[in-house]
Amino acid sequence: MFGNMGEMMKQFGELKKQMKELQKLVVEVSSKGGEVTIKCNGEMKVLDVKIKEDANIKHLPHLVRDTLNQCFEEVKTKSLGSMKGLENLKIPGLN
């Protein structure tokens, strides 16, 4: 029962390390015309939103939505890439 405890602790340590790396991940994405720029982190939290003064107010909601979705998609892609080595974790209760 306790024979795999060392291996489980090693895997848990690796998981914690990867989660810390995700906290450091920062992605910045701009809309096609550059009117909107959004910065978010690996926890999918928005860190900054910049809107140019000359942005088209009529299209602004769509620009913000699309840029935010693009930012989240990029975070997801990068975070999944950094978690590649963890797909074989065998943690009881999680598999």
Residue by residue, pLDDT tens for the chain (95 residues) are 455 777 777 777 877 887 787 878 999 999 999 999 999 998 889 999 999 999 999 999 999 999 999 999 999 998 877 666 555 555 555 55
Which of 24, 30, 60, 58 has the alpha carbon at shortest distance from 42?
24
CA distance 78 to 72: 10
Residue 28 near residue 39 (C-beta atoms within 8 A):
yes
Q: Are 13 and 3 in contact (CB under 8 A)?
A: no
Residue with tokens 């928005």: 46
